[in-house]
Structure 1
Amino acid sequence: MGMSSTFIGALVLVILIQAKGQPGFISIDCGAEAGANYTEPSLQINYVSDENFINTGVRGTIASEEINTHAQQQLWRLRSFPEGKTNCYKINITRGSNYLIRTLFLYGNYDGRNMSPQFDLLLGANLWDTVTIQNASITQFNEIIHVPLLDFIQICLVNTGNGTPFITAIELRTLKNDTYVTESGSLERYLRCDLGSNRSYRYWADDYDRFWFTCDIKEVWTQLSASISDDSFFENDYKPGATIMSTAVTPANGNAPLVIGWEPEHETDEFYVYMHFTELQVLTTNQTRQFNITMNGELWFSNFSPQYMSVNTIYSPSGISGKEIKFSLERTENSTLPPIINAIEIYKVKQFNQSDTFQGHGSP
């Protein structure tokens, strides 16, 4: 059965390293000159050099033609690791806090070789992912929600013999501890969709600096939108934000269900799902929007009506799995209006069974 979160409250964030005006943000420009500390104007996010987080590697800059097409300066530099098999960053954090951890990679032909590498990315001693650079001119990222057991984390890059590892930026964002809770394991971003939108967003639109994308889910939907001001909008602890919630989708056929589904790579993969809802219309006395949510044909949440200008988040309290996972939002007999959904987040459970530390090169 899904759970609903409609809590409203102040968010108190405590962290050892704080960016100006952004409590809970750690934003590291990998390869920036020593002492660098600047605000990226397009994001209003403060970045610092990686000099205090690692003592190995070589600073590099992407090709000039790539700089011309990437306006944000935290993407212009990088740190590569031509020596040593494993090189690790060490970043002090608050033990037991809930963090969104993001690593970014833009090759940008920094070495003039036009040879995109492949290498392993570790969180502590645990394999997080294998990074395969698909396009030299496109920024790739990895993102995970993780609760560290120590007062620091290590992010390590491993040379697997397929080119020199590198990293462009590291970003940590503190989340509220009672959000994104799992029975076990960490949450790797699988999909995060701003439904009904025609563009992507991150910080200033989202207080937690989550990346939101438009997502083509291959369903026949009608896009909805409304003007929502931050002052008149009631958030919950997930804080998707007024901008993200100002759009939604509904079935093009008002009598049809609204379906969101996917086929996991492995049937045993576990997922956590977070659906965010806001009613965008002022309903008249003879209008009702009410629907049930089923998962793979079984009732998951019943008789749900989104609240006007207020966030409702329905989420899975435990991991879900299957050969196919399909959610269906189906209007009830009493409803005069079809179902809507504004945004959805899907995460895959990542089990880290090794130590949070790696005895490798690089950590200060």
Structure 2
Amino acid sequence: MEKLVAVLLLASAVGGRAASFPFIFNYFLRIDCGLTGKTTEHYNNQTWFPDSFFMDHGKTKQISSETHRNVSQVMTTLRYFPNREDKNCYSLPLINTQKFVFRAGFYYGNYDGKSQPPVFDLFLGGQQWATVNSSATDGPVYHELMYAPKNDNISVCLMGRKEYGDTPFISYLEATYLDEDATDNHTVYGMMRNGTAYHLVARLNFGGHDQVLEPWSGMEDVCEERLNRYWTPQPMSGYTNLTFVPTSCSGAAYENRPPNSVINTAISPTNASQSIYVPINFPTTTPQSAYIVLYFYQDLGSKNLNATRNMDVYVDHVMRRNVKLQTYRSGEVVTLYPVLVQGTVNVTISPANGTVLPPLLNGMEVYYATELTEEASSSGVFKISYSFIVVGVCQLFLSVFLGFL
């Protein structure tokens, strides 16, 4: 009986850790930093893992949800690193070298009682991802990029800056695989190159008034967001806000699969001779290579079968593309890359010759590109895979052992 107890304890100890890694098969990873214990949590129908699986140093803190009711539950815990000038790293076993959305969230919430939101650096794969300024807003701060790792194990690290002497912290961390097979046209950001990181500047839903869209969280929402992107509602004064009657997955036929909530709202001038002007503020004034995606869609109903909407797309007064919507229900996705930008950039959608209807714009995504030189692949994935092997052997041995009892 003592041998049986020993085998049960071994299977439980190893299996309890290994069984908590279904993201290996589902190609997504959601980490709730500072979450205590070894069990997963569920927010908005999503499974979040405690970061103790990926980080064994630093300290955790719980922020009172009563005094911070406007933030999501995943933001009410954090991990901070008193050894501020050390690189404090999470090792992410992704087992895939295709495109991922990496997103990190930070909510200070005065967790230390000092009322001094820190500034520190965030790294991906050994290269700087962003400078986190947690005082930039009273609410959460997010940093996101799209990237295809060269290795099957990549690190996300935090490090304090000497000139500030601040303590870095993190509230959550996500990596979501951009599965092209989950989209009908099998094209997801097709001009993004492997080895290049694309940092999100803005992802806008024009004409929408709702709060930021939640990520896709169930098969009942197949016409909505399925790639774990957050779209910011962007009504604009001086333009007409358009809303089209939703049809079944109207955005699914287009590149990057824009969700219905984005594709069925738009802004438009009041007449066909006017243009749409959208300024984009990049984080630095140094020249950068930008990746710009524009979403156009109309559903005019059966009374406008012959209406034509002809538009020219300009970036800083340079004509980049012509877009023509010639049927009452039609759309197009325009990707501009690379576009050399500096500081504030102006995107203009102007009426072109032969247009009957004024220009419109449904959605826009803007990124800037940087090159990453990754660290060597670590053994994190092997260790997790080894856990599964040990569990399987233990379970097999246990079943055979019980058969002899």
TM-score by length of 2: 0.76
Provide closer, same or farther for how the CA distance between residues 136 and 340 of structure 1 changes in structure 2, counting only shifts above 3 A: closer
Question: How far off is 1:319 after superposition?
Answer: 3.6
The residue identity in structure 1 corresponding to 2:202 is L
- Structure 1, unpaired ranges of 5+: 1-15
Which residue number corresponds to residue 124 of structure 1? 125
Question: How far off is 1:307 after superposition?
Answer: 6.1
Which residue number corresponds to residue 188 of structure 2? 179
Which residue number corresponds to residue 270 of structure 2? 252
Instruction: Determine the C-alpha separation between the residues in 1 that align with 2:46 and 2:253.
Output: 22
Pick aligned residue for 2:205 from 183, 189, 194:
194
Which residue number corresponds to residue 348 of structure 1? 368
Provide closer, same or farther for how the CA distance between residues 230 and 153 of structure 1 changes in structure 2, counting only shifts above 3 A: farther
Question: How far off is 1:116 after superposition?
Answer: 1.2
Which residue number corresponds to residue 240 of structure 2? 222
1:64-143 maps to which residues of 2 (within 5 A)? Answer: 64-70=65-71, 72-83=72-83, 85-134=86-135, 137-143=138-144
Of 274-283 and 299-308, more deviation after overlay is shown by 299-308
Provide closer, same or farther for how the CA distance between residues 151 and 340 of structure 1 changes in structure 2, counting only shifts above 3 A: same
TM-score by length of 1: 0.83
Whether 2:232 is the aligned partner of 1:213: answer yes
Which residue number corresponds to residue 257 of structure 2? 239
For residues 24-65 of structure 1, what are the alpha-carbon distances to aligned partners after superposition, in whole Å with 9 as ceiling and x for unaligned?
Answer: 33111011112231221xx32221111111111111111354
The residue identity in structure 2 corresponding to 1:57 is G
Provide closer, same or farther for how the CA distance between residues 235 and 203 of structure 1 changes in structure 2, counting only shifts above 3 A: farther
Provide closer, same or farther for how the CA distance between residues 270 and 51 of structure 1 changes in structure 2, counting only shifts above 3 A: same
SS of the residue corresponding to residue 240 of structure 1 reads coil
1:13-28 maps to which residues of 2 (within 5 A)? Answer: 17-18=21-22, 23-28=26-31
The residue identity in structure 1 corresponding to 2:213 is Y
Instruction: Determine the C-alpha separation between the residues in 2 that align with 1:304 and 1:253.
Output: 17
Instruction: Determine the C-alpha separation between the residues in 1 that align with 2:172 and 2:359.
Output: 40
Instruction: Determine the C-alpha separation between the residues in 2 that align with 1:297 and 1:232.
Output: 31
Provide closer, same or farther for how the CA distance between residues 259 and 25 of structure 1 changes in structure 2, counting only shifts above 3 A: same
Instruction: Determine the C-alpha separation between the residues in 1 that align with 2:104 and 2:246.
Output: 32
SS of the residue corresponding to residue 74 of structure 2 reads helix
Instruction: Determine the C-alpha separation between the residues in 2 that align with 1:99 and 1:227.
Output: 32
Instruction: Determine the C-alpha separation between the residues in 1 that align with 2:376 and 2:94.
Output: 13
Instruction: Determine the C-alpha separation between the residues in 1 that align with 2:173 and 2:264.
Output: 29
Provide closer, same or farther for how the CA distance between residues 152 and 247 of structure 1 changes in structure 2, counting only shifts above 3 A: same
Instruction: Determine the C-alpha separation between the residues in 1 that align with 2:154 and 2:290.
Output: 24
Aligned residues: 340
SS of the residue corresponding to residue 316 of structure 1 reads strand
Question: How far off is 1:303 after superposition?
Answer: 4.7
Bigger Rg, which one:
2
Question: How far off is 1:135 after superposition?
Answer: 5.9
Question: Any conservation in 2 of the 1:228–1:246 contact (CA below 8 Å)?
Answer: yes
SS of the residue corresponding to residue 96 of structure 1 reads coil
Which residue number corresponds to residue 148 of structure 1? 149
Question: Any conservation in 2 of the 1:278–1:308 contact (CA below 8 Å)?
Answer: no
Question: How far off is 1:159 after superposition?
Answer: 2.1
RMSD: 2.9
For residues 237-263 of structure 1, what are the alpha-carbon distances to aligned partners after superposition, in whole Å with 9 as ceiling and x for unaligned?
Answer: 401111111110111343112222336
Whether 2:307 is the aligned partner of 1:287: answer yes
- Structure 2, unpaired ranges of 5+: 1-19, 181-186, 217-223, 385-405
